[in-house]
Chains A and B, each alone.
Chain A
């Protein structure tokens, strides 16, 4: 099953400089696992050390943030659009 992954500029160097990728997998977890197999250097930007979704990465399926769906278990179906956007965060602390 193929979905479309939109890669933000800042993550492209770790993903073959692609802006859009066709990705396989029935869940977000599977999609990210295959991505990190293909592009091993992207792992540190996508997943935390324990394999959970990176704290400062937003992953959307179509219009929805997967943190409010099923996280890595969020289902992905044919023609879904997956968007990755690094969180914009910081502060005076």
Chain B
């Protein structure tokens, strides 16, 4: 399970839209299964098909989280023309089995946002709970 506030969802979608035509990306800072902060990053891969978090943003975010008693608990990125599901590239490069990997798909008019755990090449979708939006959370739990 990953718990996020509606402002976090909006921040991830806004990052994805701003990055168009490229994939957008960023990091999730928080505690275990709760997002406290979304940190957008430039996509240094500068590509519509791949992404890479800016190494400077990565280091600063780890330090910033540590100072605040938090952790980097995951990452998000967008798929501009495919579903919100990890690709083989995502799986091959998923660095941390304890992380939450959020995918934002802009492929359809209705933006889709999903979260996954990736362990040893196995993809498991997890429940996304949008705090304060019971209706949306319930749809996600289907």
A contacts, CB < 8 Å to B: 8-10, 56, 58, 60, 63, 65, 67, 83, 85-93
Q: Is the CB of B58 within 8 A of A88?
A: yes
Q: Is the CB of B49 within 8 A of A91?
A: yes
State which of B2-10, B30-38, B87-95, B132-140 sits at the interface with chain A. Answer: B87-95
Q: Is the CB of B89 within 8 A of A90?
A: yes
A-contact bits for B19-48, CB 8 A (1 contact / 0 none): 000010101000000000000000001010
The one of B87, B91, B95 that contacts A87, using a Cβ cutoff of 8 Å: B95
By secondary structure, the A interface counts as: mixed
- In the complex with contacts A58-B59, A63-B59, A9-B93 CB distance below 8 A: no
Identify 29 residue pairs between A and B in the complex whose beta-carbon atoms are under 8 Å apart, listed by A's number. Answer: A10-B96, A10-B97, A56-B93, A56-B95, A65-B56, A65-B59, A67-B55, A83-B59, A83-B62, A85-B55, A85-B58, A87-B53, A88-B25, A88-B27, A88-B52, A88-B75, A89-B50, A89-B52, A89-B53, A90-B87, A90-B89, A90-B90, A91-B23, A91-B45, A91-B51, A92-B49, A92-B50, A92-B82, A93-B47
Report the bound CA distance from A60 to B92 in whole Å: 23
Please name all residues of chain A whose beta carbon is closer than 8 Å to the beta carbon of B56 when the two chains form the complex: 65
Report the bound CA distance from A55 to B58 in whole Å: 16
Task: Assess whether B81 is interfacial by the CB under 8 Å rule.
Answer: yes
Q: Is the CB of A10 within 8 A of B55?
A: no
Min CB–CB distance B89 → chain A (angstroms)? 5
Task: Assess whether B111 is interfacial by the CB under 8 Å rule.
Answer: no
Min CB–CB distance A50 → chain B (angstroms)? 19
Please name all residues of chain B whose beta carbon is closer than 8 Å to the beta carbon of A92 when the two chains form the complex: 23, 49-50, 79-82, 87, 89
Q: Is the CB of B50 within 8 A of A93?
A: yes
CB-CB nearest in chain B for A89: B52
CB-CB nearest in chain B for A10: B96
Please name all residues of chain A whose beta carbon is closer than 8 Å to the beta carbon of B79 when the two chains form the complex: 91-92
CB-CB nearest in chain B for A91: B50
